[in-house]
Structure 1
Amino acid sequence: MSRNIPQWLAPTSLQEALALRAQLGDEATVVAGGTFIGILMNQKIMQPQALLSLRNVSELAFIEASQDEGSLLRIGAMTTHRAVERSPLIRQEWPVLASTFSLVASPRVRNQATVGGVLADADYASDPPTLLQALNARVVVRSQKSEREIPVEELIIGYYETSLRPDELLVEVRVPRNRERVVYRKFRSRSSEDRPCVAVAAAQVDGKLRVVVGAVAEKPQYFPEICALAEGETGGYTRELVTEIGQRYAESIEPISDSRGSAAYRRRVIAVEVRRALEEMVP
């Protein structure tokens, strides 16, 4: 077999996929929607020996609500962005999730890209991970021998790097229902640019503020000690408070520089966008 053509593996069940994952480990690159890895392969950044496609594992494509632990949204890893965007259940009960997924690229890409894929890719400039972390979402990962559930903020640990083990697959995303105000803001440095220069998600979860800033560093940035400044504010956030939180986030993050903006530019935008997100949280 040519070195330039990786072996294509296409299991039709989760058990078969897990068996192949256990057998091959890091020798096989997992493919969900294939949008991201396709770019990396075309640019010669990645040349895997084998591709383990989950495209035919239909049991991983689902959207449902569970009452097991309160009200919980369960999304299968192979559910497409477009399915999330158009789901009546999500649009009614988790509307900010639907609207955020609708901001990703184009309908063609959203018809192919998957929820599990966007998290497992750990792409720092993707929209969904920032919001999912703010909502305190968790992922279910499985191997042939075990299953574990981990927060999104512990899944993504660096640039294109996750805490998944070589024999594990991400199989499900779980999002708690949130009756409080949730905001997602996507700042683009150019109108023609799809990916955010700065992304901000803000939510009240179990009575505590969670502000997560994405697209500015190796992984989404969350500072609970800064968010704690809002504790006890029952009558809404003052202008002084939201400005201080925004400024502290800007000072605490070490932004990157890339084609969408310099570190200095991003730092200024972070302060403004965090403030605006918090202002939007007050009806």
Structure 2
Amino acid sequence: MMDCAVVAPTVLDEVLALLASSGEDAVPVAGGIWVTLTLRHGLIRPRLLVHLRRVPELGRMAVEPTGDLVIGASVTHRVVERSPLVRSHSPVLAETLAEVANVRVREQATLVGNLCEADPASDPPTVLAALGASVELLSRRGRRLVPVADFVLGAYQTARAPDELVTAVRVPPLPPRAGVAYLKFRTRSHEDRPALGVAAVVLPDDAGRIAAIDVVVGAAGDRPQRVPSVLGHARGLPLDEELVTMLASAYAGAVETVSDLRASAWYRREMVRVFVARALRLAAQRAGLYRQQGGSMDA
């Protein structure tokens, strides 16, 4: 492991100054799970680790007047999953984080750190993309918001510039009638990273048809994927078994899949078909649409 200096500022401005002056030689650290592993294997070679846990505002978690749930950069998975605030605002996020790795990891790892890691085999980016979440990036040049769907550029690549700090994740409120689900497929132990993850959001109109729908597939390729051209055909239709099957098959044919130690590209594609259908059914059930009788899912 390469020797590097460690600093622990207590003021956010000091963090930004260090990132501005050090650029790619500095790495922000909150939980440290990913940084420790990559340092150990020589995959990163920073000269400076900037520890964030002593900066008070980065440990903030609150629902703002806009309705956005804001989760600071040093807030751990465990805090998020156990928070009544999160369970009320975005229950699927609490559910998802409760199934990440094990308690020991979740006590240390942070949600923002997970996004900055951009490991393709990860749960939170998929769910957050489906929820319409954004990351807050702050530097001495200013502040910007980037949707999670655009923040993760590829495997271990993000839109963060070297002088920027991701200060928080912002999760907007969904309409009260929306149903959301996240399901994942693991090929090895219960604690393993997903071989596939699917998040689905279904919003019905007053007639029980689809007012809005989203499906995001993660861990199949190098970043979370959605297929707008497929989803566009579903709006205004009843969410019946025929439509679920069509959407699942279309997604299976459209998303990028890769082969690795968890699954082959072919097997992942088959599981996309299965898990998109399952996630849509569960989201529809949570939206009050699900009653499978004669092929119908309408309430």
Q: TM-score range by the shorter chain?
A: over 0.9
Residue 18 of structure 2 corresponds to residue 20 of structure 1: yes
Residue matched to 2:235: 231
How far the C-alpha of 1:49 sits from its partner, in A, is 2.2
Amino acid at match of 2:7: L
Matches for 1:135-146 after TM superposition, within 5 Å: 135-146=131-142
Residue 271 of structure 2 corresponds to residue 269 of structure 1: yes
Question: In structure 1, what is the Cα distance between the partners aligned to 2:218 and 2:108?
Answer: 23
* SS of corresponding position for 2:233: helix
Residue 192 of structure 2 corresponds to residue 194 of structure 1: yes
Question: In structure 1, what is the Cα distance between the partners aligned to 2:111 and 2:15?
Answer: 18
Residue 165 of structure 2 corresponds to residue 169 of structure 1: yes
Could you tell me which runs of 5 or more consecutive residues in structure 1 were left unpaired when the two chains were aligned: none
Greater Cα offset, 191-200 or 84-93 = 191-200
Residue matched to 1:246: 248
Residue matched to 1:208: 212
* SS of corresponding position for 1:222: coil
How far the C-alpha of 1:141 sits from its partner, in A, is 0.6
- Identical columns (%): 44
Amino acid at match of 2:73: A
Matches for 1:60-79 after TM superposition, within 5 Å: 60-68=58-66, 71-79=67-75
How far the C-alpha of 1:205 sits from its partner, in A, is 6.6
Q: Per-residue displacement from partner, 1:224-265 (whole Å, max 9, x unpaired)?
A: 1111121002x4x11121111111111112211111101011
How far the C-alpha of 1:198 sits from its partner, in A, is 0.5
Residue 143 of structure 2 corresponds to residue 147 of structure 1: yes
Residue matched to 2:85: 89
Question: In structure 2, what is the Cα distance between the partners aligned to 1:45 and 1:152?
Answer: 24
Amino acid at match of 2:273: A
Amino acid at match of 1:222: R
- 2:156 aligned to which of 127, 146, 160: 160
- 2:113 aligned to which of 113, 117, 121: 117
Question: In structure 1, what is the Cα distance between the partners aligned to 2:255 and 2:220?
Answer: 8
Question: In structure 2, what is the Cα distance between the partners aligned to 1:141 and 1:10?
Answer: 19
For the 8 Å contact 2:139–2:163, the answer to whether it is kept is: yes
Give the TM-score taking structure 1 as reference length. 0.93
* SS of corresponding position for 1:221: coil
Question: In structure 2, what is the Cα distance between the partners aligned to 1:36 and 1:190?
Answer: 21
How far the C-alpha of 1:46 sits from its partner, in A, is 2.4
Question: In structure 1, what is the Cα distance between the partners aligned to 2:112 and 2:89?
Answer: 21
Give the length in aligned residue pairs: 277
Amino acid at match of 1:247: S
Residue matched to 2:47: 49
Q: Per-residue displacement from partner, 1:162-181 (whole Å, max 9, x unpaired)?
A: 11112110011111112210
How far the C-alpha of 1:56 sits from its partner, in A, is 1.7
Question: In structure 1, what is the Cα distance between the partners aligned to 2:214 and 2:270?
Answer: 20
* SS of corresponding position for 2:232: helix
- 1:280 aligned to which of 255, 278, 282: 282
Amino acid at match of 2:187: S
Give the TM-score taking structure 2 as reference length. 0.89
Residue matched to 1:217: 221
Residue matched to 2:290: none
Question: In structure 2, what is the Cα distance between the partners aligned to 1:265 and 1:86?
Answer: 34
* SS of corresponding position for 2:135: strand
Question: In structure 2, what is the Cα distance between the partners aligned to 1:9 and 1:41?
Answer: 16
For the 8 Å contact 2:31–2:108, the answer to whether it is kept is: yes
For the 8 Å contact 1:136–1:205, the answer to whether it is kept is: no
For the 8 Å contact 1:229–1:245, the answer to whether it is kept is: no
* SS of corresponding position for 2:23: helix
